[in-house]
């Protein structure tokens, strides 16, 4: 038995935040009903309201699970309902999260996310009556007892808390589009940083090449290929480049996630690389009977290759999580090699004499645009997430 001090769940406390919750809702349509609950509570109130709880912990420091708990994979989280695929039968269970797990999760926006490996216990009907449970009709129910440690976790900062977008992935497809919307380089560079940090392989995927002349951005993209990142130019509309994308994603056991701005064509591309997926998504949307034109929650999709891909809602901004400003340039593969050549160890690469980074920019060894996003990201990362 171990005693821990745990914060009360945030929703037990009175709301103190004045900021506009509906704005966040409109921005990213992620777990609407969780948003309110995930509000950050100002300092003192929450610090003083702790309670001591007792835990049974095993050697990993994890909460022990009851003998009849089954391993499963989180497919999708919708409000209080978590859809878990039972490893043994492939059946989908609608699960609630054990209260104790919620209590322990103090720094994260959600306790479970798509891609999580969990242990859950089938349970008699929880009697959920809320409107959101409408799509769960007929599915067996359960309770999540434990979340396995995560690897390959894509996170960002949302209201100063960690927002884990997806866990346990090997590859991040950074989807952008040549037009409608236009490429946002800063967003690509931010996502590469988080992928590098999480040791997820980033692949840059430029969609909608039918809407312009792709040759125009080849020089900019060349910067990434020279650093060893794979770049794919595709069109979900005409099918151009789709076969290469399919080969990159359809690999046995490979776990990918697609991320990018809303409307760049993430879901369209997934439909293009997996035959009959429209069928599968309609199958999955039985859980959520509202038809969706755009993705509203991260959703894990099984692929015929035996791997899976997680489709995610569009993101407008991507604030780095757990990266301190001085670390940023270290995640730039093109800039990092020059850092140790700077005259001063604490060089900020902005004004110092003998700055090897700036020299390299002047000599054309580092692309000016990359240098600029590095400075921007490093200097802006403490601003509110919707700073732009």
> Residues in the site for Mg ion, rule: CB under 5 A?
266-267, 295
For Zn ion, which is the closer residue by CB, 78 or 358? 358
Question: Under the criterion CB under 6 A, does residue 239 sit at the interface with ligand GTP?
Answer: no
Query: How far, in Å, CA of 371 to CA of 366, rounded?
Result: 7
CB 171 within 8 A of CB 201: yes
Residues 310-329 within binding reach of ligand GTP (CB under 6 A): 313-314
For ligand GTP, which is the closer residue by CB, 268 or 380? 268
Least spacing, CB of residue 179 vs ligand GTP, in Å: 8
Question: Under the criterion CB under 5 A, does residue 342 sit at the interface with Zn ion?
Answer: yes
Question: Under the criterion CB under 6 A, does residue 372 sit at the interface with ligand GTP?
Answer: no
Least spacing, CB of residue 271 vs ligand GTP, in Å: 8
Question: Under the criterion CB under 6 A, does residue 135 sit at the interface with ligand GTP?
Answer: no
Least spacing, CB of residue 378 vs ligand GTP, in Å: 27
Question: Under the criterion CB under 5 A, does residue 349 sit at the interface with Zn ion?
Answer: yes
Least spacing, CB of residue 330 vs Mg ion, in Å: 32
Residues 115-134 within binding reach of ligand GTP (CB under 6 A): none
Which residue of 210, 220, 352, 372 would you call a contact of ligand GTP, by CB under 6 A? 210
Residues 351-370 within binding reach of Zn ion (CB under 5 A): 355, 357
Question: Under the criterion CB under 6 A, does residue 263 sit at the interface with ligand GTP?
Answer: yes
For Zn ion, which is the closer residue by CB, 101 or 375? 375
**What is the contact surface with Zn ion in residues (CB under 5 A)?**
342, 347, 349, 355, 357
**What is the contact surface with ligand GTP in residues (CB under 6 A)?**
207-208, 210-211, 235-237, 262-268, 294-295, 313-314
């Amino acid at each position: 038995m171990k005693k821990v001090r745990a914060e009360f769940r945030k929703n037990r406390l009175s709301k103190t935040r004045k900021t506009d919750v509906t704005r966040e809702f409109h921005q990213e349509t992620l777990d609407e009903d969780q948003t309110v609950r995930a509000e950050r509570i100002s300092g003192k109130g929450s610090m003083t309201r702790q309670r001591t709880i007792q835990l049974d912990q095993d050697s990993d420091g994890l909460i022990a699970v009851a003998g009849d708990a089954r391993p499963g994979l989180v497919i999708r989280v919708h409000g209080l309902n978590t859809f878990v695929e039972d490893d043994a039968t492939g059946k989908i269970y609608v699960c609630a999260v054990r209260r104790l797990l919620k209590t322990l999760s103090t720094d994260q926006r959600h306790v479970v996310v798509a891609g999580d490996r969990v242990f859950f216990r089938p349970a008699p009907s929880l009697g959920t009556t809320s409107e959101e449970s409408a799509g769960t009709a007929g599915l067996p129910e359960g309770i999540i007892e434990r979340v396995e440690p995560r690897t390959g976790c894509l996170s960002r900062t949302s209201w100063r808390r960690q927002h884990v977008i997806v866990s346990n992935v090997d590859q991040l497809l950074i989807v952008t589009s040549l037009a409608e919307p236009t490429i946002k380089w800063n967003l690509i560079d931010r996502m590469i940083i988080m992928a590098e940090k999480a040791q997820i392989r980033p692949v840059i995927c430029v969609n909608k090449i039918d809407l312009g002349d792709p040759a125009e951005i080849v020089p900019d993209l060349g910067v990434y290929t020279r650093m060893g990142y794979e770049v794919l130019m595709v069109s979900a509309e005409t099918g151009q480049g789709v076969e290469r994308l399919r080969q990159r994603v359809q690999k046995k056991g490979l776990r990918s996630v697609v991320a990018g701005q809303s409307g760049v064509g993430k879901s369209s591309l997934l439909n293009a690389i997996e035959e009959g997926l429209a069928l599968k998504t309609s199958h999955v949307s039985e859980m959520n009977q509202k038809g969706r034109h755009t993705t509203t929650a991260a959703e894990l999709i099984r692929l015929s290759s035996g791997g899976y891909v997680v489709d995610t809602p569009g993101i407008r901004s991507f604030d780095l999580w757990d990266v301190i400003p001085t670390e940023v340039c270290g995640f730039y593969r093109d800039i990092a090699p020059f850092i140790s050549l700077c005259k001063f160890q604490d060089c900020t690469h902005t004004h110092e004499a003998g700055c090897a980074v700036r020299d390299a920019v002047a000599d054309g060894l580092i692309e000016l645009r990359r240098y600029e996003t590095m400075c921007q990201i490093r200097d802006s990362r403490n601003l509110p997430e919707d700073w732009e």
